[in-house]
Amino acid sequence: MKAVRIHTYGGNDVVRYEEAPVPVSASDEVLVRVHAASVNPVDWKTRSGGGQADKIGERFPIVLGWDVSGTVEELGSGVVDPDDDGWAVGDEVFGLLRFPQPGQTYAEYVAAPAHELAPKPSRLSHVEAAAMPLAVLTAWQALFETGALEAGHTALVHAAAGGVGHLAVQLARWKGAGVVGTASGGNADFLRSLGAAPVDYTRERFEDVVSEVDLALVAVNGDVTDRSLGVVRRGGVLVSIRSEPSQEEAERLGVRAERVLVRPHGGQLAEISSLVDAGHVRPAVAAEFPLEEVDQAFELSESGHVRGKVVLRVTTG
Ligand SMILES: NC(=O)c1ccc[n+]([C@@H]2O[C@H](COP(=O)([O-])OP(=O)(O)OC[C@H]3O[C@@H](n4cnc5c(N)ncnc54)[C@H](OP(=O)(O)O)[C@@H]3O)[C@@H](O)[C@H]2O)c1
């Protein structure tokens, strides 16, 4: 099969689109024919030796990619039939695989832990479905598990036009929370369409117009994390998916401050799949590329200004 692999960490020049063995599924896995995979910043950060590279180490060659949408091709010996909550050949599934260990989804086939998959939302194409898992599970776990966001709360979502942010805004709105989102001015209408009040970070300091929020979701580095602590109400929570917040400052302000790392979760993704089919959440796909043009997809993502997600189309030869 064809796969996107690296044999060393580095820039886009280390990325190879090449022949690789079709993976063999373990007993608790299914073989998925990949229709689409998506780009998350962690993919190119890890390619460079940052991201999750310290957890993965030097086990080259590494097939890149964590998000997948595709079709079940073969069942591992321990994966029971669908009547027993398992999978059947031909099922359309999506998932975030094995994170932070290599997910190996940038390939024509991937062996997927069965419990990390969920039914693909039927109203989405594979390209749209592949855009979701890592970003939407990050948003879900940050807002609801760690952040305990409830109806009537107000959330500040930074980078609200990005992969995580645009899904976080929709999940928070579905929950019944009010949302303020930061983005550059060109994304103001996009944020409004998702139900968030936009703050243009290029023109104003968010702390001049936002205060006393119940939750702040921080997906931007630099001083944004610590500045955001100051706009959370006493007793509220800041959830960072970037740098570690200052516990000293959080304590002084009476704010709970957490940093989260997303983890795969087929159950949560199944719940999200139902929300998509009910019309509450929908991913925005900014651009799609064939798998062999992954370097161009990475370049676009590395610009730091994608609206929604960049997706890779995979067609089996
Ligand atoms: N800890 C975890 O588990 C976890 C999980 C997922 C992601 N992450 C990390 O979280 C970050 C965001 O991920 P992502 O997938 O959402 O990235 P992304 O899609 O690449 O984010 C792009 C967005 O960021 C916005 N942006 C850039 N600078 C900004 C600023 N100063 N203020 C507000 N918005 C800004 C851009 O909006 P404009 O074009 O309008 O500027 C753009 O829409 C990445 O660093 C990623 O690695 C961590």
- Distance of alpha carbon 314 from its chain centroid, rounded? 19
Per-residue pLDDT for 316 more than 90?
A: no
Residue (of 245, 242, 202, 219) closest to 156 by Cα position: 219
Question: pLDDT tens for residues 249-264?
Answer: 999 999 999 999 999 9
Three-class DSSP labels, 17-82: EEECCCCCCCCCEEEEEEEEEEECHHHHHHHCCCCCHHHHCCCCCEECCCEEEEEEEEECCCCCCH
Q: Is 241 in the pocket of ligand 1 (CB under 6 A)?
A: yes
Burial class (CB in 10 A: 0-12, 13-18, 19+), 248: exposed
Say how many Å lie between the CA of residue 85 and the centre of ligand 1: 35
Question: pLDDT tens for residues 4-16?
Answer: 999 999 999 999 9
- The number of beta carbons lying within 10 Å of the beta carbon of residue 229 is 21
Q: Tokens 């929908």 correspond to what residue? A: 282
Say how many Å lie between the CA of residue 53 and the centre of ligand 1: 19
pTM > 0.95: yes or no: yes
Confidence of residue 81 (pLDDT cuts 50, 70, 90): low
Confidence of residue 80 (pLDDT cuts 50, 70, 90): confident
- The number of beta carbons lying within 10 Å of the beta carbon of residue 168 is 33
Task: Tell me the average pLDDT of the chain.
Answer: 97
- The number of beta carbons lying within 10 Å of the beta carbon of residue 274 is 13
Provide, rounded to the nearest whole percent, the portion of the chain with pLDDT above 90.
Answer: 95
Average pLDDT over residues 235-245: 97
Question: pLDDT tens for residues 5-50?
Answer: 999 999 999 999 999 999 999 999 999 999 999 999 999 999 999 9
DSSP 3-state assignment of 103?
coil
Which mutation among 38, 40, 170, 190 tests ligand 1's pocket best, with the greatest number of atoms within 8 A of CB? 40
Task: Tell which atom from ligand 1 comes closest to the C-alpha of 51.
Answer: 47
Say how many Å lie between the CA of residue 96 and the centre of ligand 1: 18
- Check residue 206 and give its pLDDT: 98
Confidence of residue 240 (pLDDT cuts 50, 70, 90): very high
Q: Tokens 């023109």 correspond to what residue? A: 203
- Check residue 138 and give its pLDDT: 99
Per-residue pLDDT for 82 more than 70?
A: no
Residues 308, 170: Cα–Cα separation, whole Å: 12
Distances (CA, A) of 157 to 190, 207, 213, 310: 14, 13, 10, 20
- For 201-213, give one letter per residue: b (16+ CB within 10 A) or e: beeeebeeebeeb
Q: Is 304 in the pocket of ligand 1 (CB under 6 A)?
A: yes
Q: Is 39 in the pocket of ligand 1 (CB under 6 A)?
A: no
More reliable by pLDDT, 177 or 84: 177
Residue (of 306, 240, 228, 314) closest to 41 by Cα position: 306
CA angle, 217 as apex, 216 and 221 as ends, to 5°?
Answer: 110
Q: Is 278 in the pocket of ligand 1 (CB under 6 A)?
A: no
Residues 164, 167: Cα–Cα separation, whole Å: 6
- For 74-101, give one letter per residue: b (16+ CB within 10 A) or e: bbbeebeeeeeebbeeebbbbbbbbbbe
- The number of beta carbons lying within 10 Å of the beta carbon of residue 186 is 12
Contact predicate 38/134, CB 8 Å: yes
Residues 6+ apart with CB under 8 A from 208: none
Per-residue pLDDT for 242 more than 70?
A: yes
- Check residue 297 and give its pLDDT: 98
